[in-house]
Amino acid sequence: MRFIVGRRGGQTGADAADETFTTLAGLLKRGNSYAHAASALILVCADEGEDERTARYAAVDAGAAIAQLTIEAVSRGLIAHPMAGFDVDGARAAFGVPDGVRPFAVVALGHLGDYATADEAIAERDSRPRERLALEQVAFTGRWGNPL
């Protein structure tokens, strides 16, 4: 696993962002524009190796790293939000990501923002109750589609 970290705020001022943060923010798809208010943007990359087995584990490793980052963030009173909506090729070019290493996600990290200043659609979306598929739709036994 490798991480490219951009920071906003800190010693340079509340809204000042370093070049890495600015570049990562520019690579995000339009629906992730709220992430520009985060304290940090983290590009999560995994080495796909030189064989098929290692390549298959790259996605597992990236997911596990993001999960652990999220757990640690929450334990420190922060919010972590992983996003797959970004320009992967642009990230490769901007940061010189070598062949065989795959950028999987950008994680926005920071404190929960003030909904009074948030885009109305985002505030409404975040206030809705979370809906998940029923267990019988996602967990099977014996054969695919046979509910647990």
pLDDT in tens, 29-44: 988 888 989 999 999 9
Confidence band, pLDDT 50/70/90 cuts, at residue 27: very high
Distances (CA, A) of 55 to 49, 59, 61, 101: 6, 8, 10, 9
The domains of the chain, with CATH numbers, are 2-115 (3.40.109.10)
E-only strand ranges, 78-117:
79-83, 101-110
Average pLDDT in the chain: 92
Mean pLDDT (whole number) for 61-90: 97
**Which of 30-39, 44-53, 89-98, 132-141 is the least confident region?**
30-39
User: 67-105 burial string, b = 16+ CB within 10 Å, else e?
Assistant: eebbeebeeeebebbbbeebebeebbebbebeeeebbbb
Tokens for 75, please give them: 């334990």
Q: pTM for the complete prediction?
A: 0.86
**Which of 2-11, 53-62, 83-92, 112-121 is the least confident region?**
112-121
